[in-house]
Structure 1
Amino acid sequence: MKRRNVIWGSAVLLIATLFIVYKTGVFDYKPNIKSSAAVLMDMNTGHIWMDVNGDASMPPASMSKMMTELIVLDRISEGKSRWEERVPISLYASSVGGVTLSLYHGETYTVRELFQGIAVYSANDAAVALAEHIAGSENSFVVMMNNKARSLGLSPRSSFANASGLSGKDLGPNRPPGYVTGETMLTAKDAARLAMALIHTHPEVLNTSSLTQMKLTGKGLYVSNMNSMLPEMGGAYAYEGNDGLKTGFDSRTGYCFAGTAHRDGQRLVAVVMGAKTNQERFEETAKLFDYGFYLSMSWESRVKHILYKL
């Protein structure tokens, strides 16, 4: 009799739980994303778990530097460039706007230092200097960027106009004659695909993107990572498993972030474009990560998760 009561009690509890789950819709919940566009991708399968205006083309700002990083790493892996090569800083590179390492015309730095300047601090002058060093000119580097975009299967709605992601008006007065006109544009879906290609092809990029700071030896300059979600940063937006990837800001679009996180064998890529504040882009990314890792749970784990939340 006692055993029967336990069974019936358990059945009633299960039915009540499932009713609550059904009524609240928590099994099927999707986070309410405030940004203009957002995409959540499962890197293990390439499946897109969430798509908010993912095909809308907009200025991605420094998120486009993921393509610059990809090409640099391709060159290193092919033996066409070396990490300790010295790179001269041109007048043009020294005069670009936005976030910079304050590189001066005539100085030289290693490929490694400039790459870290891009991946950690999103430095525009470092991006231009590397582009000129690799391709002879930024124009030629832009051709490489767009050719790579097509080979990766990025959509025609995404195109690159420079190595930094800066708008034309922020490129400074010293860009060489005959430069490519137009603006860099990227969709959230293509940003996610680019991030996935970068990590798949060169997983070592995460060793750099996860650094909390980098040092520019010649200047004795230390700069901190722009990614506030790194656990080692220890701030309000630190997220377990995050180890990259690229922030961006453009006055036309707002705050952007292409982030990645890894837990229990699963890696996610989340892209947020058009957040209103620096903080909001990380908050929205955390929502996407939470949702992606929730979907990877077993049915039993989801029930436990739901009951904990309730």
Structure 2
Amino acid sequence: MSSVVLAVVVGVSSPAAAAEAPTVKATSAYVVDSAGTIHLGKRETRRVPVASLVKVMTAYVVLREAHLSDTITITATDVKYAARGGAATAGLKKGERLTVRDLLYGLMLPSGADAANALARHYGPGKTAFVAKMNSTARALGLTDTRYTNADGMPTPANGGYSTAVDQARLAQQALASSTFRTVVGKETYKVAKTSLHRAHTWRNSNKLLARADGVLGVKTGYTNAAGYCLLFAGERGGRQVVGVLLNDANERRFSTAERLLDHAEEQITGG
């Protein structure tokens, strides 16, 4: 089984020339690098829904417990769950048998709630137990302003989940310590060839930042009415890993803003 463990220093120094940072219209935002320098903070500790950014924790928990070659059979419940909630799906069908590796791509690229349901059901076992693992992992990582209610980030009628920009950045830093996670979230397109066990699938990454700038590592997009358009992003800049979070932004603007924030961080890091 794989284990994802990394001690990361987050936010140990003062914001770097915050007044010169690009204008950010997202409700909450945060940018920090691997040396602990904060390049931007805006309502970064405000508790808000984070939509499909929740799937980063889903992937993180799965990677700590699963073998990538494990095979999971898709059920009618997995398919119906995503369809009933109007969530993004990976287009999975009842009876398909896919590996955990494939399902992680289905989870993170097209943001499949069907893949999330299948993984949570299998590795709880059961969704309630899996969500408990998500929350215990959040506590172990020091994400004190984060609470999960499901594995996909879709709104729940009561007792909704929440997180903060700071907590999401911390989680991303931990998750990116896994080479498997980095490979998955950095892929623009992933194809699953048809076999006797499953249909063919082609999944495209919803993170447009990957095609907009060099050195981008991922990480995840998200959207619900309550959360607005969200983006958790990371890139290599000036010899450091820069992680940023934009919560409740506009659809296309989140990508252009993230690109400018990565450039700003690089200028601060290199002094140029």
TM-score by length of 1: 0.76
User: What secondary structure is seen at the aligned counterpart in 2 of 1:102?
Assistant: coil
**Where does residue 162 of structure 2 map in the other structure?**
185
State the distance in 2 between where 1:90 and 1:141 align.
17
Which ranges of 4 or more aligned residues in structure 1 deviate by more than 3 Å? Answer: none
The range that moved more, 214-223 or 112-121, is 214-223
User: What secondary structure is seen at the aligned counterpart in 2 of 1:121?
Assistant: coil
Identity across matched positions, percent: 29
Cα deviation for residue 63 of structure 1 reads 0.5
**Where does residue 159 of structure 1 map in the other structure?**
147
State the distance in 2 between where 1:53 and 1:203 align.
31
**What amino acid sits opposite 1:167 in the alignment?**
P
**Where does residue 270 of structure 2 map in the other structure?**
297
State the distance in 2 between where 1:41 and 1:197 align.
13
Q: For residues 268 and 110 of structure 1, do their structure 2 counterparts lie closer, same or farther at Cα, with a shift above 3 Å needed?
A: same
User: What secondary structure is seen at the aligned counterpart in 1 of 2:184?
Assistant: helix
**Where does residue 13 of structure 2 map in the other structure?**
none
Q: Are residue 221 (structure 1) and residue 201 (structure 2) matched?
A: yes
- Pairing partner for 2:237 from 263, 274, 283: 263
**Where does residue 307 of structure 1 map in the other structure?**
none
State the distance in 1 between where 2:238 and 2:26 align.
28
Task: Deviation per CA, 1:235-264: give whole Å up to 9, x if none.
Answer: xxx111112001101111211000000134
Q: For residues 102 and 137 of structure 1, do their structure 2 counterparts lie closer, same or farther at Cα, with a shift above 3 Å needed?
A: same
**What amino acid sits opposite 1:29 in the alignment?**
E
Cα deviation for residue 102 of structure 1 reads 2.3
Paired residues for 1:67-216 under 5 Å: 67-75=57-65, 81-95=66-80, 96=82, 97=85, 98-155=87-144, 157-168=145-156, 182-200=159-177, 202-216=178-192
Task: Deviation per CA, 1:160-180: give whole Å up to 9, x if none.
Answer: 0001111126xxxxxxxxxxx
State the distance in 2 between where 1:199 and 1:85 align.
22
> Alpha carbon RMSD of aligned pairs, Å?
1.7
**What amino acid sits opposite 1:215 in the alignment?**
K
Q: Determine which structure has more spread, i.e. the larger CA radius of gyration.
A: 1
Cα deviation for residue 150 of structure 1 reads 0.4
User: What secondary structure is seen at the aligned counterpart in 2 of 1:243?
Assistant: strand
Determine which structure has the larger helix proportion and give its number: 1
Task: Deviation per CA, 1:87-145: give whole Å up to 9, x if none.
Answer: 02233211123110222233321111111111222111101101111111010000000
TM-score by length of 2: 0.86
**Where does residue 249 of structure 2 map in the other structure?**
275
**What amino acid sits opposite 1:219 in the alignment?**
R
**Where does residue 48 of structure 2 map in the other structure?**
58
- Which blocks of at least 5 consecutive residues in structure 2 are unaligned? 1-16
Question: Is contact 2:209-2:258 (8 Å) kept?
Answer: no
State the distance in 2 between where 1:53 and 1:152 align.
21
The range that moved more, 138-147 or 260-269, is 260-269
Cα deviation for residue 83 of structure 1 reads 1.5
Matched positions, count:
248
- Which blocks of at least 5 consecutive residues in structure 1 are unaligned? 1-25, 76-80, 170-180, 303-310
Q: For residues 133 and 285 of structure 1, do their structure 2 counterparts lie closer, same or farther at Cα, with a shift above 3 Å needed?
A: same
State the distance in 2 between where 1:206 and 1:162 align.
23
